[in-house]
Structure 1
Amino acid sequence: MSELDWYLKINVKARHLRLLVTIDTYRNLTQVAEATHVSVPAVSKSLAELERGLGLTLFERTTHGIVPTPYGECLIRHARTILTILHRASDDLKALNSGTAGKVHIGMLPASASMLLSTALNLLKQRSPGTNVMVTEGTTALLLPELWQGQLDLVVGRLPPTDTLGSFEEKELVEEPVMLMTGCHHPLARKKVLKWSDLRPYPWILPPPGSILRDPLERTLEAHDVPLTNNYIETLSMHVARAHLQVSDCIAVMAGTPVNDTGQRLHTLPLSLPQLLRPAGVLWNRNRGLTPSAKLMLTCLDEAAQSLSDASDRAVPSVSAARKGM
């Protein structure tokens, strides 16, 4: 066993890991001392002991404060992961001790699978009222690193491209069609026959650049010779998009259940879009074992997807009958 291996396995404690993360957070020893309620010399001494034991320089003092070296960045990254695991272990032990069933940490991608998740949460609470849930909404770029680090158990929403999955396991749950939407007052909503060229004069509500829907949408519009105007709003917020469609002549692209929400009346433009996105589903880290609570949530998501699919199948005949009566 090398000296580095020995020191990491025998001498490094949780307090050392917390010190590294705190220094990285503040980048100022005075602020670190205030946050940890010790003196600046004590902080410096603890850091020096850690660096001496590892035989590595973890931080450098610069005019911009104390910054991590590549060795420091590496150890800080692992320190954050270990501290997250310890925190989760504490939560699980407290849950067992108090008689509750644990806690599930779920990431939800915006503008996607909201009905799926809410239905699954209802099933979870019916079966295990003591299982609590923390839901964090964010982008793929934000949530997948947290899933990798163990801060999240599951991520629910539109599945990313398969070439980005890496160590993540996935399960497809719901096919959500992508549609072009307007408010019911929109001039295009009154047209019985609609051509792609009719879209050209109107402003747009777009997903931001880099989001999984933006590039395929732009390619589709370009294929139909519909250039995007300079008059647009970019947002991932379905609430903002739906509200703005009510008061503007914008066109928005929407996927899944928000389209069918009757709380705010919207109009679906009768233009056929190709399959721009992968289905909605759930992701987890195959290198980390799922807790019993996370496994139960996975089962509830699967059953929720099946119930939504069954409801959609039942709705199809009624829609067809209504059209025949028109």
Structure 2
Amino acid sequence: MSELDWFLQINLKARHLRLLVAVDTYRNLTQVADVTHVTVPAVSKSLAELEKGLGLPLFSRTAQGLMPTQYGDCLIRHARAMLAILHQARDELKALSSGTEGKVHVGMLPASASVLLPRALSLLKQRSPGTNVMVTEGTTALLLPELWQGHLDLVVGRLPAPDTLGSFEEKELLEEPVTLVTGRQHPLARRKSVEWADLRPYPWILPPPGSILRDPLERALEAHDVPLTTNYIETLSIHVTRAHLQVSDFIAVMAGAAANDTAQPLHTLPLSLPRLLRPAGVLWNRNRGLTPSAQLMLACLEETAERLKKGARGGAREEVAPASAPVKARRRQAAGA
């Protein structure tokens, strides 16, 4: 067994992993000492012991602080992944010891999962009240690295291009057409027919640059000779988009389920867009097994997608799981009040 093998298999500790991540995060021994509540000499000694045990230089000292070498970059990447697995094991053990079902960490692409995920969460809580969920909203660029590192179990939303998936497994859930929408008071909402040229005077609510929808939308508008004005708002928030459309003459692009929300009705412009995006779906890291909680969340997402599909076909009424006994009791009390 080589010196490197011996150190990695026998002498590498969780504290070494935490030290590596901390040094990479702060690039300064004084700051690392502050956050880890030890002295600077102790941090320096631990780092030196780690490099000696591996027989490899992990950081170089520069004017900008401690910078990882190629060996440091490699080990830091794996250290983050191993710590994520340890945290996952901790969460599962805590859940088992406390009698709860577990916890699942879900990333949500907000503009494309605003209907699917909330309904799936409702179904999950009906099935397993003790399974808890942490939801993090963000862009693909933010969430996919978190999924790869193990900080997230699942990412739900519009599936990215296949060439960006790498080590991720995917499942298509819901094909939702993308439509152009306005508020009900918009001048174009009162017209019986609308042409592409009619869009030119109006401002837009756009997905930010770098988001999945931005480039395909710009290409589609360019193909119809509709240049984007200099008057626009950029956001991924479905709530901001809906609220602003209600009080303005802006135009936005939105997926079908979100556009058809009856709580805040919008007007869909009668203009046909090409298929700009892949279906909504769910991603997970194929190199890590899904926890029981994540498997249950995945099953609820699949069932919710099927219900939404049935509701979209011929205006069929969406199936709803039976209310729990306490909910039924409250309803009876309200009826008798």
TM bracket (short chain): over 0.9
Any runs of at least 4 consecutive aligned residues in structure 1 with deviations exceeding 3 A, and if so which?
Answer: none
Is the CA contact (8 Å cut-off) linking 1:188 and 1:194 kept in structure 2? yes
Is the CA contact (8 Å cut-off) linking 2:204 and 2:233 kept in structure 1? yes
Q: How far did 1:281 drift?
A: 0.9
1:293 counterpart letter in structure 2: S
In 2, Cα distance between the equivalents of 1:271 and 1:2? Answer: 67
1:83 counterpart letter in structure 2: L
Map 1:121-136 → 2, pairs under 5 A? 121-136=121-136
1:148 matched to 2:139: no
1:288 counterpart letter in structure 2: R
The answer for unaligned runs of 5 or more in structure 1 is 318-326
Is the CA contact (8 Å cut-off) linking 1:181 and 1:269 kept in structure 2? yes
Q: How far did 1:205 drift?
A: 0.9
DSSP 3-state at the match of 1:239 = helix
TM-score (norm 2): 0.90
Q: How far did 1:314 drift?
A: 4.4
In 2, Cα distance between the equivalents of 1:288 and 1:148? Answer: 9
Q: What is the root-mean-square deviation of aligned Cα atoms in Å?
A: 1.5
Aligned to 1:324: none
**Cα deviation 1:26-74 (Å, max 9, x = unaligned):** 2221121122121111111111111111111111222222222222122
**Cα deviation 1:105-125 (Å, max 9, x = unaligned):** 111111112221111111111
**Cα deviation 1:184-210 (Å, max 9, x = unaligned):** 121111111111111111111111122
1:74 counterpart letter in structure 2: C
Aligned to 1:38: 38
Q: How far did 1:263 drift?
A: 2.7
The answer for unaligned runs of 5 or more in structure 2 is 318-337
Question: Which stretch of structure 1 is more off in the superposition, 285-294 or 61-70?
Answer: 61-70
Q: How far did 1:4 drift?
A: 1.2
In 2, Cα distance between the equivalents of 1:178 and 1:220? Answer: 12
In 1, Cα distance between the equivalents of 2:316 and 2:53? Answer: 68
Aligned to 1:232: 232
TM-score (norm 1): 0.93
Is the CA contact (8 Å cut-off) linking 1:113 and 1:256 kept in structure 2? no
In 2, Cα distance between the equivalents of 1:20 and 1:163? Answer: 31
Q: How far did 1:241 drift?
A: 1.3
Q: How far did 1:2 drift?
A: 2.0
2:303 counterpart letter in structure 1: E
2:118 counterpart letter in structure 1: S
**Cα deviation 1:75-128 (Å, max 9, x = unaligned):** 111111111110110110111111111111111111112221111111111111
Name the % identity: 78
Is the CA contact (8 Å cut-off) linking 1:104 and 1:132 kept in structure 2? yes
